[in-house]
Structure 1
Amino acid sequence: MHKLMGRAVCGLSLAGMVFLTATAVFAAEQGSDVPDGVVLKSLAVFPVGVAVSAGDERRSLFKKTDQQALINRQFNSLVAANIMKMRYLHPAENRFTFDDADALANYAKEHGMILHGHALVWHPDYQVPTWMKNYSGDWDAMLNNHVEQIVRHFAGRVASWDVANEVIDEKVPAAYRPSLFYQKMGKSYIEKAFIAAHAADPAADLYYNDFNTESVPSKLDFMLGMIDDFKARQIPIHGIGFQMHVDVDYPSIAQIRKSFKAVADRGLKVRISELDVAVNKHKNLTSLTPAVAMAQKARYKEIVTAYLEEVPAAQRGGITFWGVIDGETWLSGFHKRAEWPLLFKDDYTTKPAFDGVVEALTGK
């Protein structure tokens, strides 16, 4: 961003530089030409979603009811940030707990929203139920039961699932992540999860979801190889989720476009599944400056534009933003830094980033 700005002001007079800075400040404060009252979900024929906390979580939309009006107005798709993961839904071998997820499914139905399920199989130690770590029985039967019970319970209420999440290690050369599931079952656990999910709900779209597949070529290539193998053997997979936790200046838009197109060319659906745009990777910001806000706006616009141009309409599984307001982003805690990666300020007003998405969706 700083290099781009440097080239832009090269040769300007001091007065011109002052004017440019003042213009950026005004634009960041006032937004673009996007009119008041714009609703994201009305601008797209594909789902426009947001990740929400739910259940007993501190930031649950059932507790922070002030968020509901914004969520209901702007989005037509929801995904649970946590409560539909393994350790929440299946805390003991013979016990499933659906209450919180059922409440979210009911909320989605009441407000005419699609619910996307996240995620049936995921590797982190803190997400794998303790009983699974100690399991010594038939792993094939156990995993099949885990997937089928959950998917069958939500059949007709959950439109799509992240069946397997982050199974690829991005070391060079890329390989399957040596997770507990891989250690117990080899790579077959991935396809077996897809087969079980399809058996439980043939109408649901089934996705593989991962991070950095839009930025690390070796990881993208490994994923494409897995997809091609699944398709050749008729393993039921319908789409790929690109998480897209990106920076304002990385990865290149050319690489993002290449990644979207590679999946679309294989006939699969493409979701931007967890989108946020970080701006403070160097930890040099204490607030979102007007210039950085405008750079973030441009970044959101180019990402959504790339999605529209590289993915045919019938293959657009949707775009989901990973959170509502900046003050609740997961990035601040994960990276231990201040961040402002989302579309809305903490007072629920829009940022220039919102305008960037609107301009892409409307072709401005």
Structure 2
Amino acid sequence: MRSIRFVTAAFTAAALTLPLAATSATAAPPSDHQAAPHSNAKFDRLRWAAPEGFYVGTAVAGGGHHLEQDYPDPFTSDRKYRKILGQQFNSVSPENQMKWEFLHPERDRYDFEAADAIVEFAQRHKQVVRGHTLLWHSQNPEWLEEGDFSKEELRAILHDHITTVVGRYAGKIQQWDVANEIFDEQGNLRTEENIWIRELGPGIIADAFRWAHQADPKAKLFFNDYGVEDVNAKSDAYHELTRELLAQGVPVHGFSAQAHLSMRYGFPSSLEENLRRFDELGLETAITELDVRMDLPESGKPTRAQLEQQADWYQRTLSACLAVADCNSFTIWGFTDKYSWVPVFFEGEGSATVMTEDFVRKPAFHALRSTLKEAKTEQWKEKWKRGWRH
């Protein structure tokens, strides 16, 4: 638990001026070996700017693509990408490599090569890992979705998968997205789309948490979804289900909002309130997949006003998390537009991450760093005050 419960982190127009200059065509991206003027080199990196006990992370390996789509893999082929990944973040989330279709391509065969590489990279760079995901309606292999299995067989398949995967990484995964996107926008369980809920009933959700906990008692187990940033029907459904499961003694430890935001819609104004009500249930909370997409002009380049608004939304999302005591994990869904999933799935929208395709830092990057530094400073002040009193 952090020693501060809130951070003001007002982000002014003046603070945006210098970062915007770096987005010009002639400006070179700031070097990760060279600090900004009057700053400490460590604090030029997000992971070192963060308060103690707070994890700032990114999705790893890029694309967000299904296997049948063209799949960029910067993790194995782009040295600059890997360098920035190791320097800037103290948490990583495999973007695809722990999803069923990648990890479990045949009923009796697992493929851990790509996932192992990410976990080993994280260990070398002193990063924690978020596991993503164990029970989901999407990106399942054909053998599973099209197979003719009895209920007993399906239950055994899921049990084996969770036990095998979570057990393999026991002690190496900080948080697991156990149940992912199980409700629709109206707050109803996805009983048709989700093979597990459809065939085995809603009780399988509790079983998935129990099995994951048995396989790794130290890992924190989360619900994870999009569209749950605000207090709404969908997040209400998670709140009610979580209360029920906790009353039954099911090991649910956290609730996370993905936060895939679009400028076509408003900012989720009740984000902090929503995270706080889950915190009050005794859960940890997290932001797990933040990006802020926009409709790009014909030039394909965002305007200054769009970059300012994007920076503001990144900052407001981070500040909402920092304001809640046990919101200790904050993950952006990729850090460079070069490998973002957004243009593939949202036609006409893009520029959703904190760096350009050439790894030039956008105002959003600087907004995150400034907010983290302010939170760290407040944390130091609180520690000093407590030490002075005693």
Q: Same fold (TM over 0.5)?
A: yes
**2: distance between equivalents of 1:95 and 1:109?**
25
User: What is aligned with 1:156?
Assistant: 171
- Equivalent position amino acid for 1:296 in 2: Q
Moved more, 229-238 or 90-99: 90-99
Q: Mark the CA change 1:244 to 1:129 in structure 2 (over 3 Å): closer, same or farther.
A: same
The one of 254, 257, 260 equivalent to 1:242 is: 257
Q: Which runs of 5+ in 2 are unaligned?
A: 1-12, 24-35, 376-390
Contact kept? 2:134, 2:179, Cα under 8 Å: yes
Cα shift at 1:249: 6.8
Q: What are the Cα deviations for residues 151-183 of structure 1, in whole angstroms up to 9, with x where unaligned?
A: 111111222211111001113xx2101221111
State the partner residue of 2:121: 107
Structure 2 CA distance for partners of 1:141 and 1:97, relative to 1, 3 Å? same
Aligned counterpart in structure 1 of residue 285 of structure 2, from 267, 270, 281: 270
Contact 1:283–1:338 (8 Å) recurs in 2: no
Pairing of 1:317-356 with structure 2 (within 5 A):
317-356=328-367
1:50 equivalenced with 2:42 (yes/no): no
1:41 counterpart = 2:56: no
The alpha carbon displacement at 1:22 in A equals 12
Report the equivalent of 2:144.
132
- Which amino acid is the alignment partner of residue 347 of structure 2? K
Shift of residue 332, structure 1, vs aligned partner: 0.8
How far the C-alpha of 1:335 sits from its partner, in A, is: 0.8
Give the distance between the partners of 1:182 and 1:192, measured in 2 at CA: 11
Provide, for residues 57-81 of structure 1, a one-character-per-residue CA deviation record: whole Å limited to 9, x for no partner: 5323111122111111110111111
CA shift at 1:243, angstroms? 0.2
Determine if contact 2:55/2:90 at 8 Å carries over to the other structure.
yes
Match for residue 21 of structure 2? 29
> Distance between the aligned counterparts of 1:22 and 1:270, measured in 2?
32
User: Within 2, Cα distance between the matches of 1:22 and 1:333?
Assistant: 34
* TM-score of the superposed pair, with normalisation by structure 1: 0.85
SS of corresponding position for 1:348: coil
Matched to 1:208, the amino acid is F
1:361 aligns with 2:375: no
Residue of structure 1 in register with 2:29 after alignment: none
Counterpart-to-counterpart distance in 2, 1:233 and 1:338: 43
Deviations 1:292-313 (A, max 9, x none): 111111111111111111x10x
Residue identity over aligned pairs, in percent, reads 30
1:104-144 deviation digits (Å, cap 9, x = unpaired): 111111111111111111102xx112222214131222211
Within 5 Å, give how 1:204-223 maps onto structure 2. Answer: 204-215=219-230, 217-223=232-238
TM-score by length of 2: 0.80
Q: Show the counterpart of 2:106.
A: 92
| Matched residue count | 335
Name the CA distance, whole Å, in 1 between partners of 2:297 and 2:227.
21
Partner of 1:5: none
Residue 118 to residue 23, structure 1, CA distance change in 2 (3 Å): closer
With over 3 angstroms needed to count, the CA separation of the structure-2 counterparts of 1:326 and 1:263, relative to structure 1, is same
Alpha-carbon RMSD = 2.6
The higher relative CO (CA closer than 8 Å, separation ≥ 6) is in 2
Distance in structure 2 (CA, Å) of the matches to 1:26 and 1:157: 39
Residues in 2 aligned to 1:210 and 1:148: alpha-carbon distance in whole angstroms: 23
Deviations 1:269-318 (A, max 9, x none): 111000101122x8777311112111111111111111111x10xx1231
Matches of 2:127 and 2:256, distance apart in 1:
19
Distance 2:82 2:148 in 1: 40
Counterpart of 1:219, as a letter, is: K
Three-state SS of the structure 2 residue aligned to 1:353 is helix
8 Å CA contact retained: 2:72, 2:339: no
The equivalent position to 1:77 in structure 2, one of 66, 87, 91, is 91
Partners of 1:25 and 1:290 within 8 A in 2: no
The structure 1 residue matched to 2:327, chosen from 311, 316, 323, is 316
Counterpart contact for 2:321–2:330, Cα < 8 Å: no
8 Å CA contact 1:286, 1:338 repeated in 2? no
Alignment of 1:112-261 (within 5 A): 112-124=126-138, 127-133=139-145, 134-137=147-150, 138=152, 139-171=154-186, 174-178=187-191, 179-215=194-230, 217-248=232-263, 250-261=265-276
AA aligned to 1:336 is: E
Name structure 1 gaps, 5 residues minimum: 1-20
Shift of the 188–321 alpha-carbon distance from structure 1 to 2, 3 Å rule, reads same
In 1: Cα distance, 2:175 partner to 2:332 partner = 16
Structure 2 distance, partners of 1:306, 1:295, is 16
Does the 8 A contact of 1:215 with 1:251 survive in 2?
Answer: no
| Amino acid across the alignment from 2:190 | R
Query: Taking structure 1 as reference, are residues 307 and 93 closer, same or farther at Cα in structure 2, changes over 3 Å only?
Result: same
Question: In structure 2, do the counterparts of structure 1 residues 284 and 238 end up closer, same or farther at CA, with 3 Å as the change threshold?
Answer: farther
Q: Deviations over 1:29-78 (max 9, x none)?
A: 258xx756411111222111110118x95323111122111111110111
Q: Is the 8 A contact 2:312 2:364 kept in 1?
A: yes
Query: 2:301 & 2:99 partners in 1: Cα distance?
Result: 33
The aligned residue for residue 305 of structure 1 is: 319
Q: 2 CA distance for matches of 1:250 and 1:261?
A: 23
